[in-house]
Amino acid sequence: MTPADAPATAVGTVRRRIEHVDTDASGVVHFSRYVSLLETFVLDHFEEHGAGLARIAELGADLAVTELTVRYRRPGAYRDPIVGEVVVEHVGAARVRVAASLLREETNGSRTELASGTLTFAAVHPTTGGPVPLPPTVRHTLKGITPDAARHDTAAH
């Protein structure tokens, strides 16, 4: 089964640890790194479903962030185990809006939100940077992992 054939899920999760490069001299995640971590989790989620940057490039496009909002909740620290939760909220002809949360996994199994945000990506031409439509197969794949698609998939079974 290829990632594109995987069942649709409304919320994707990606795991990793806070690394040294993510922190300031005191071992706390630098505010600017939350944005990078959120974007990494989103792009990993796309990749898991066969709609990653390499696939988009093969189809003659690239993605550029056109809008970003971030809300900081709590500090993360070096080596904290973190989970990124990603929800593709909207897929249009040339744009994708995604919500993402960065959560610390606590020793008791609970999760503490460190930051959350919304990223809007636009499809652009790889050379000129001008707007282009999302490649149809990528648009279809991303629409298949929206919460609405998951509800429709569940209702069909």
* pLDDT per position as a tens digit, 56-72: 999 999 999 999 999 99
Which residues of the chain, if any, have pLDDT below 70? 1-10, 149-157
Closest to 139 (Cα-Cα) out of 101, 95, 100: 95
Distance CA 53, CA 78 (A): 28
Residue 62 CA to residue 53 CA, distance in Å, equals 7
Give me the CATH topology for the region 11-156. Answer: Thiol Ester Dehydrase; Chain A (3.10.129)
**Does residue 143 contact residue 150 with C-beta atoms inside 8 Å?**
no
Say what the pLDDT of residue 1 is. 32
Q: What is the pLDDT of residue 136?
A: 97
Q: Is 36 left (phi over 0), alpha (psi -120 to 50) or beta?
A: alpha
> Would you say the pTM of this structure is higher than 0.75?
yes
